[in-house]
Structure 1
């Protein structure tokens, strides 16, 4: 094959205005998607400060405030933007389904949904629910990036699929200040069919979105930096116990969420949720508040503060922290309020590691906490590489790289024995009836035969 002269290649590169215009549009919207996640972060932190200030003044206030606020948020979301409920990652996966009509895709990602997701997630946090802002960041950033398609020139190699993948990954990158984590999330969860002609540009967009968050909040790890001493073989048995507990509990958590959020349960509470969703949300909010009061506030909110204290060696949690946070996070997700599970999952994993360190008396508590965080997050989401990178960014040095990677892979493997991956199952549930009615099934794709989502019942 004859190679083109260098001069011709340079001329094509420099004088193709459509290529440069597409690059400019993608990078501009990447910066905007990063700033949208910064806005979500700022508003979420402000919401948590308001809630904690109220709780400090009156310990009993969550018993009234949390159910009322949760009911209002769920009512408002169902009234105006039903697809803004829940995590946001399943919505992006649903929007990425091949053959989905444009009008259906806009039900899952759009600028309107991004704004609604920011406000709804802030409402869930000000209510004191055990939710995070990382999953919502994926839907927010994907909606902003998806809007870039209107400004791209004709005959560009970049399509909606690539923009949404880049946006979703940019959400993770900006939320955790880990551009590499965003890239791996795109590869591991959002797509397995990278677009070769534009992948370099889209990777640059992911990094740029992450840099927007770094420019505002600084180059700091999400939970701070963990100082881990050199490891020894004495950590093997406690570490294996952490892997076992985090893998089994994470798999159980994922299975519980799938059954709850897809309406597979036939119990009284599932029927109540379908018939009276706002009342059910209020009941979930009251249960979360009751658990929070019983735990002296440790299970209320995203779990950032208790996890930060655990990593600093200040264990203020009770022996029941892990099961109480587990239940509070499940109920918060089941309520239908906007919010993700990444931060609460990391908090549960940190509690598992701290408990194992206390049971075994092992001095390397920080190392076990790090293993618990990566293990439970990997098991709950079945994205081991993403979980490994997110937690690895918090560890000072490379002492635990292999240990964290092994823990993530083993815990995720245990989770798969208990059930399928969480986000694809929820995405299939959202798509099932719509996809069967509007678009043909691509070869190799399978869609679950489930009931209509709660917003359509």
Structure 2
């Protein structure tokens, strides 16, 4: 064999390892892309089912407000029992569990956290919670469902390296956000800022592409809709300064109080109350349902469900809610979360923030109400999750308003600083660390 004959196979092997022509790399890309499409389809179906579940509850209590005092306690008690005995591990929002899975090295443990059984339970029990009047969102559960689907796909195809499996989980969680909100850019930012806090250079492009495909799939299935409607509200420099400071202080402190309350509840209440809750958790879940019914009655039924309709109506300035709505919705969200049922806090938090902005609007008379509502959403959401870039991008994309980018970003970072005065650790990161500790003990 001459030199030319020996060189040709070597060149072919080198070409086969090039990113553009390598069959192995194209196969991995295909896994990410197919998984992203699947996650997006499930996210859209989950969104429609969530709307249906909320409508079922509201239809059931229409003209019969007293019925909520039966449905809510019974529904939350049943959901808690199913969570404990049929779908253990499905409780919580789903984002802390996904973050924890990204930091696990034991693949068996990751498989328990991101199993398809838990994904199914997450969807069914979130729908049950919404059909029972709980103030929960579907976006957090969609993150864990997306991560579980991608993880199962990786196991099925036996992808070799741990960083590829981690990238699949990361892409699944971010694709879940992109599919749930129809916001691809927010999905990418969320993956970097909240889920991973870092990115491997070798897999970042693949993850980005998967998230974009998930967003494009959602766009193809449901059209170019904006989650909270559209607003063209703008604000001039003078009123903007006062509006940013006011919304940031109020929203940041309120978000910090909310997050700190959930962290305290996650550790368990001290004293007799804590021991009674541990001994009679089902009774406690039923009492949480009863509290939801009381809060719903006080609000005229406005605090039930995700808060999506209320926030959209405020953003598009179709309705004005009473000033007490923000406080009642916050209380309903805390009660729903501590009851132990599955459910997220994304949509309720954005609804609370919108209401806060609406309440603060009269204090800045030269600022449009629509602009104050967007600033309030950003401030409270950033205060809760302590992820200012995600808060800015997600509100900007969900309302199709780029004219307020600078005020929204300033509000997000200032409210983040205010939240840190009360809650020293980011909510999802702290809950993920606690979840990891519990899993290691078991």
Instruction: Decide: shared fold, TM above 0.5.
Output: yes
CA contact under 8 A between 1:85 and 1:339: conserved in structure 2? yes
- Measure, in 2, the Cα distance between the counterparts of 1:40 and 1:245: 33
| Equivalent of residue 167 in structure 2, options 162, 185, 202 | 162
Higher deviation after alignment, 325-334 or 39-48 = 39-48
Bigger Cα displacement from structure 2, 209-218 vs 86-95: 209-218
Deviation at 1:362, TM superposition (A): 4.3
* Pairs within 5 Å for 1:15-414: 16-99=22-105, 101-152=106-157, 155=160, 159-263=164-268, 265-414=269-418
**In 2: Cα distance, 1:395 partner to 1:147 partner:** 34
Question: For this pair of structures, how many residues does the alignment match?
Answer: 431
For structure 1, list consecutive stretches of 5 or more residues without a partner in the other structure.
Answer: 438-455
Cα distance in 2 for residues equivalent to 1:396 and 1:26: 28
Kindly indicate which of the two structures has a greater share of residues assigned to helix. 2
Query: d(CA) in 2 for partners of 1:316 and 1:79?
Result: 43
Flag the 1:170–1:269 CA change in 2: closer, same or farther, 3 A. Answer: farther
For the 8 Å contact 2:259–2:427, the answer to whether it is kept is yes
Provide the secondary structure at the position in 2 that maps to 1:194: coil
Indicate the SS of the match to 2:202. coil
Note closer, same or farther for the CA distance 1:235–1:282 as it changes in structure 2 (3 Å cut): same
Residue segments in structure 2 that go unaligned for 5+ positions in a row: 1-9
**Cα distance, 1:421–1:229 mapped onto 2, change above 3 Å:** closer
389-398 or 284-293, which deviates more: 389-398
Cα drift, residue 157 of structure 1: 8.0
Q: Give TM-score, length-normalised by structure 1.
A: 0.90
Q: 1:239 to 1:21 in 2, by over 3 A?
A: closer
SS of 1:39 mapped into structure 2 = helix
**TM-score normalised by L of structure 2:** 0.92
Query: Does structure 2 conserve the Cα–Cα contact (< 8 Å) formed by 1:88 and 1:340?
Result: yes
Tell me if the contact between 2:137 and 2:306 (Cα under 8 Å) persists in the aligned partners.
yes
Contact 2:164 / 2:203 at 8 angstroms: preserved in 1?
no
